[in-house]
Chain A
């Protein structure tokens, strides 16, 4: 009896000691030397793995930064505060970037939108788009099922009257919503001026056709082109904007007032 107690204690202690020393040995032998910078950089990064920097995860971006292969200004999600932290860790200067924001190029909310059919199905824009282009009369309009809202890692998108509203403080221009929208309604643009206006329509059909499909669509009348001195220009029956020249427009409210279908919005 006493013998069993002794052998069991000894063998368990031996086994424990054996595995402990094996683990210690292996830990020494197979230690992975990681640049201590990587850990620091990763802490500074937002860690949401949005992929806007071109790397699949924040960890990979941190590795590339530590090696000096990546630009510390690439982290769009973190914005200037993170770039500042990164430049501190890496010891390099980071130039300031112009604020970027996602813009929704459709202004037809649930009350205005005309329908050609009633859609019953999975409540996502991607699914609705697959069923003969969805229920809306306009083939370029927002579905309003909020795929962009669900994909936004920052909670910057809110659905109101079946249209996405983008919170300009929370939006980091990561571009996830641009990819999620099956209709390519959302774009990411530089906010180059204080009074920023943009066109809330994406319909390239001829004026009368657009008007039939939607009461707030761009009918390509060209009035905005005249009043902005070419910053807005009509191309393919749609008003496009040279966002870099936005500061040249003296009175943005006047331009908005001139638009007959009221499809120019303020940020």
Chain B
């Protein structure tokens, strides 16, 4: 088995709002192995983005990590001082690319300045050397005529180009982990295909591990090794990508996969999951999915199910109560 590079244990994230305090992420654990791609998939309010922001320590002001540990290379970054995390972890061992590169790039700085800044900061190189590295990285992410692009401002680039710049910025420090939060959601299909290809290709060049956060199961099918399915802040199913797609166990995962229209020929009615995702303020008791679940039982309304092993998968559902129970959410 390959080496674990990121280990999250019992992570909970709380948000204070006008209406009270809520758990956006509820006691989740997972690991990311070296040179693997782990996809976190979920709908709105599933806590998938909050998870990635928590790891990057980028939570909004009203949110905080209420419990849990985050190990990067076997070091718990939650025990480090914020300056230590800033200098040794973020941008160096982990970097992140965002959904909307326009807002993640500083609009008044040239592309080149933004990239070299992080190189100088993390690698202590001189300006000239940093410039060379920046140019080289831009070339690697497939930006045509990088000598010109490096002198441009973010708004002068198209969405796809900006996302490439973001990826270049994430890569200059040669991080071990790259967190990609919906990196292709804002892009057109043809550009999405380009960017996904690029991410795959860079992953093998730089031997990076990728935590890929998305709502799009089709993207997951194309790039993930392992999949975590989240619903209302909890992990409800996890497993290798092939098992999840061919043999989903949790009623929610099954429903999600069934509701996607495919290119195969079928008209008529799409299978659906009834109801909608409850908002964070209106989560039901027991299993959060029970009001929408076709298999709900009496106890689903009051008790939160444990996590049971089914083949290669772990499923948080009472349907599998007979199976071996995991001690907690973790592997």
Whether A and B are associated in the same complex: the answer reads: no
